[in-house]
Amino acid sequence: MQRREFLKLLTGAIAAIMLPINALAAVWNKAAFEANKLADAEKGLAVDSETSSKEIEIIAPDRAENGAIVQIEITSRIPNTESISVLVEHNPTVLIGNFVFSNGALPYLVTRIKMAETSDIKIIVKAGDSYFTASKNVVVLENGCG
């Protein structure tokens, strides 16, 4: 194989690999993720009104020994769940994550988050044009982020 042909092939392969990464980066909601107030993060997510729901299950500790590692488990039993957003009001940036689910994907996630101080973990579930919410208070004994 000629050197130039190899380099063209290699460049094309790298570009093909980077395309999905660039497409995902375009979806990133900068305004919502950089918000430092709960209302601003919800505005960035285009949440205009939300309904409290018992169909959202939040498993998190009542007391976290160390705010740097707080494991949470979220399950949405709301039909046609499209996304689950995790917010912590008293963090430097409120929006922790926005998880989007494809058709047929189980709306369930387990992750570890950082919490700067005692606060509610607020979950917002998007299903169709509706938003549903649930929250759980976690007492942080040692700060995790600042």
Instruction: Summarize pLDDT for 88-128 with one digit per residue, the tens.
Output: 999 999 999 999 888 778 999 999 999 989 999 999 999 98
Coil/strand/helix, residue 119: strand
Q: Is the pLDDT of residue 23 over 80?
A: no
- The mean pLDDT of 65-91, rounded to a whole number, is 93
- The mean pLDDT of 11-32, rounded to a whole number, is 61
Structure-derived torsion over alpha carbons of residues 18, 21, 23, 29, reported in degrees to the nearest 10: -150
Beta bridge partners of 130: 127
Distance CA 67, CA 96 (A): 14
CATH number assigned to the domain covering 35-140: 2.60.40.2470
**pLDDT confidence tier of residue 17, bands split at 50, 70 and 90:** low
pTM here is 0.78
